[in-house]
Amino acid sequence: MALPLHTRGTVSGQGASALYKVLSLAEALRQDFPLPQVMIDLRDLDGVDHNALVAIGAGAVLGAGDSLASPLPTLHSLTMPAVVAPGDVVRVHPTGQVNVLYRRGANANTLFATERCNSRCLMCSQPPREEDDSWRIGEMIDLLQLIDRDLPVLGITGGEPCLLGEGLAKVLRAAKQFLPNTVLHILTNGRLFADRAFVRLFDQSAGQVVWAVPVYADNATDHDYVVQADGAFDETVNGLHNLAERGHRIEVRCVLHRQTTYRLQELAEYLYRNLPFAEHVAFMGLEPMGYARSNRDVLWIDPLEYANTLSQVSAYLWRRGMAVSIYNIPLCLLPDQARPFARQSISDWKNVFAPECQSCTLRGACCGFFRSAGDGWRSKGIQAIESKAIA
């Protein structure tokens, strides 16, 4: 079962929300992370001298039940104990709310930068809210110090992260300091990069960051309709060229739905002719959350209706030297020749499989489904693949 990123417990000795790196006692003693920010997991240990933990400077302890007495801030009696494990970074609120901000071993870890956005995309899975959440800048910087140093990729998303401006640049400088070998994958609409001075704020991160920018059509009319912002297409395309001019890494994305799939061939041609510097093109199945739910009537299309075209445009770009991936579309809905482009892309805590998948021989290589996808988002083509292998 996919584990959620939150649970509740009982907190004692703590007066405000705090971030902790959860570690076993043995790993905590290695002092790879600052001990005042470490919560030592004692759920499987008895007889530990808590005064000794105070003496070494530990920040807090995690216990199994309410019998634990400690001079340190304590979290215990989690309603879902498996949600929190050694290696994770958690935010603990005095009320007992526990949020996992980084999960060791997860297939995708992401920093949430802001709820604000300058677009209103029809299918946005995280509808924006206009509020001052600049406090997230400091939390992200604190969090970066507690993430495992061998993490290969870390996402940053929103909202629109670039609305943080210099604040985002500060976060990226901290990432360069604490996670110099980690690729930062930032989801942005790219519009603010139309200003060359804005691009220069991020020059120090060129090479470490991949800017993942959506282009939904080969023309302004369709793209601007999808993002519900006049002039967005021109800003995005100009921004992409400005990023490329200064040596930044770029991924182009397109979410697949009824408003984007009818011109997929024209979009592929546009990307090859106008954005050849993109190191990766990702075609993405729809996540049925947020605005996507309320706009289902204008968005929903069975992937079977565009699967052949998707296969053709993926091969078209690949033959021309562009790396291509298909995200969030199960293998049973794709032609054989498209399956090599498919990725296991859905975050593990969002991921489920249908009953039909139990006997599928390709389940281990398939992305499955979003947990939020109910019957209204179900393709008529879902079936087990009994004997075929990925081409």
**Domain extent listing, the chain:** 6-100, 110-377
Q: Distances in Å between the alpha carbon of 50 and those of 87, 96, 384?
A: 21, 21, 54
- The string of pLDDT tens digits covering residues 108-133 is 999 999 999 999 999 999 999 999 99
What dotted CATH number matches 110-377? 3.20.20.70
For residue 278, which of 235, 229, 241 has the smallest C-alpha distance?
A: 241
At 14, the pLDDT band (50, 70, 90 cuts) reads confident
Average pLDDT of every residue of the chain? 95
Is residue 330 a contact partner of residue 382, using CB atoms and an 8 Å limit?
yes
- The string of pLDDT tens digits covering residues 139-165 is 999 999 999 999 999 999 999 999 999
> Do the first three CATH levels of 6-100 and 110-377 match, i.e. the same topology?
no
Q: Return the bridge partners of 37, or none.
A: none
**pLDDT score, position 46:** 84
Q: Under DSSP, is residue 266 helix (H, G, I), strand (E, B) or coil?
A: helix
Radius of gyration of the chain (CA): 23
Q: Is the pLDDT reported for residue 329 higher than 60?
A: yes
Extract the tokens encoding 331: 């293998």
Global confidence as pTM? 0.94
Query: Mean pLDDT across the stretch 184-195?
Result: 98
**pLDDT score, position 67:** 65
Peptide bond into 159 cis (omega under 30): yes
What length is written for the chain?
391
106 dihedral zone (left: phi>0; alpha: psi -120 to 50; beta) = beta
Longest dimension (CA), the chain: 68
Q: Is the pLDDT reported for residue 211 higher than 50?
A: yes
6-100: CATH topology is Glucose Oxidase; domain 1 (3.50.30)
- The string of pLDDT tens digits covering residues 212-264 is 999 999 999 999 999 999 999 999 999 999 999 999 999 999 999 999 999 99
**pLDDT score, position 1:** 58
- The string of pLDDT tens digits covering residues 82-102 is 999 999 999 999 999 999 999
Is residue 42 a contact partner of residue 59, using CB atoms and an 8 Å limit?
no
Q: Is the pLDDT reported for residue 390 higher than 50?
A: no
At 69, the pLDDT band (50, 70, 90 cuts) reads confident
Query: Mean pLDDT across the stretch 8-16?
Result: 91
CB atoms within 10 A of CB 200: 12
Q: What share of the chain in percent tops pLDDT 90?
A: 92
Could you tell me which residues come within 8 angstroms of residue 236 by beta carbon, excluding any fewer than 6 positions away?
A: 189, 190, 191, 194, 213, 214, 215, 223
Question: How many Å apart are CA 214 and CA 121, to the nearest integer?
Answer: 11
Q: Under DSSP, is residue 227 helix (H, G, I), strand (E, B) or coil?
A: helix
**pLDDT score, position 16:** 86
